């Protein structure tokens, strides 16, 4: 389990590190927030620090955050396509617990069961929670473990690349594998299976956008432990365990 978790962390780091050199050129999804619904199918959106008005045949939820692909129409105007709602995990970036690469590596070096290690850590920290928001967030992480899902909040040098990784053991076709889900505000969500065969490690991974799939194809070759990779596009990826709105509204 520790070995597979370490391998999965390497996959996530490869994806995030490769995105550092990718300048905005409409190739990767952008993040936006729906500020207001106007007349008909028109909406006012917040994209970065700018507000823009756009049309959407898809019903959007005011106050919710989405990913989208940005381009230009035939008249030169900015267009948005492939809008996908972000999960509650990304509802608030000001979370009370984040693990950077160094801390995560130390966590993975522990020879104990990572589920037990995280449960003990969260229980101790929950007893000293300094706010309702911290108590709610840590409680959700514990509930995740109760549902046999390990949720790990991740922090990178660039705060815009912070996200979450979730995993659980799974048995398919008499073979045990590691099922995982990860989500980052700059790349969207991924889901997949990590298999450890005698011939080597096989990675089955699904992403939401073709541009992210291309990013993976260009960079996963650097991970020598992966012998076989299958990459798919799926816009319906969901967390293994989702944080509910009711708990996440307790901040303050």
- Parallel, antiparallel, or unpaired for β 175-184 and 163-172? antiparallel
Measuring CA to CA, how many Å separate 120 from each of 115, 138, 175?
9, 12, 29
Phi/psi region, residue 104 (left: phi>0; alpha: psi -120 to 50; beta: rest), is alpha
Read off the pLDDT of each residue in 222-230 and give the average, rounded to a whole number.
85
Among 68-72, 111-115, 206-210, the range with the most confident prediction by mean pLDDT is: 206-210
Split at pLDDT 50, 70, 90, the class of 24 is very low
Split at pLDDT 50, 70, 90, the class of 17 is low
pLDDT value, residue 226: 87
CA distance 105 to 101: 6
Confidence check: pLDDT of 157 > 80: no
More confident residue, 225 or 148: 148
pLDDT value, residue 108: 67
End-to-end CA distance of the chain: give it in Å, rounded.
37
pLDDT value, residue 1: 65
The region of weakest confidence among 11-15, 167-171, 183-187, 190-194 is 11-15
- The per-residue pLDDT for range 26-69, each reduced to its tens digit, is 578 999 999 999 999 999 999 988 999 988 888 999 999 999 99
Q: Which residue has the tokens 């194809």?
A: 217
Secondary structure element (H or E) that encloses residue 91, with its range: none
Measuring CA to CA, how many Å separate 230 from each of 180, 210, 227?
15, 14, 11
CA distance 222 to 18: 11
Split at pLDDT 50, 70, 90, the class of 219 is confident
Read off the pLDDT of each residue in 179-205 and give the average, rounded to a whole number.
90
Residue closest to 34 by CA, chosen among 83, 93, 70:
83
Q: Which residue has the tokens 């706010």?
A: 131
Residue closest to 240 by CA, chosen among 161, 134, 169, 176:
169
Split at pLDDT 50, 70, 90, the class of 25 is very low
pLDDT value, residue 179: 95
pLDDT value, residue 111: 59
CA distance 248 to 20: 30
CA distance 64 to 85: 7
Q: Are 4 and 196 in contact (CB under 8 A)?
A: yes
Confidence check: pLDDT of 211 > 80: yes
pLDDT value, residue 23: 44
DSSP string spanning 9-58?
A: HHHHHHHHHHHHT---SSSS-EEEEEEEE-STTEEEEEETTEEEEEE-SS
Secondary structure E strands in 135-174: 150-154, 163-172
Measuring CA to CA, how many Å separate 193 from each of 7, 11, 179?
12, 12, 5
Neighbours of 89 (CB within 10 A): 21
CA distance 86 to 235: 11
Read off the pLDDT of each residue in 115-131 and give the average, rounded to a whole number.
91
Split at pLDDT 50, 70, 90, the class of 204 is very high
């Amino acid at each position: 389990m520790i070995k597979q978790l370490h391998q999965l962390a390497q996959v996530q780091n490869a994806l995030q590190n490769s995105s550092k050199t990718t300048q905005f050129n409409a190739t990767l999804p952008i993040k936006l927030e729906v500020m207001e619904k106007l007349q008909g199918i028109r909406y006012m959106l917040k994209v970065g620090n700018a507000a823009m008005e756009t049309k959407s045949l898809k019903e959007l939820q005011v106050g919710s955050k989405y990913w989208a692909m940005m381009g230009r129409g035939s008249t030169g105007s900015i267009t948005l396509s492939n809008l996908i709602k972000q999960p509650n995990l990304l509802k608030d970036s000001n979370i009370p617990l984040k693990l950077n690469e160094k801390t995560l590596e130390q966590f993975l070096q522990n020879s104990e069961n990572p589920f037990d290690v995280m449960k003990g850590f969260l229980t101790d920290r929950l007893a000293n929670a300094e706010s309702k928001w911290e108590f709610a967030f840590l409680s959700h992480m514990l509930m995740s473990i109760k549902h046999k899902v390990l949720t790990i909040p991740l922090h990178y040098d660039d705060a815009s690349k912070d996200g979450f990784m979730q995993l659980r053991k799974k048995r398919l076709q008499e073979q045990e594998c590691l099922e995982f889900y990860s989500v980052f505000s700059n790349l969207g969500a991924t889901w997949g299976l990590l298999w450890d065969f005698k011939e080597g490690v096989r990675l089955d991974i699904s992403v939401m956008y073709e541009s992210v799939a291309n990013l993976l194809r260009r960079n996963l070759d650097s991970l020598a432990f992966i012998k076989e990779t299958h990459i798919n596009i799926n816009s319906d990826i969901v967390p293994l365990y989702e944080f509910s709105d009711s708990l996440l509204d307790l901040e303050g």
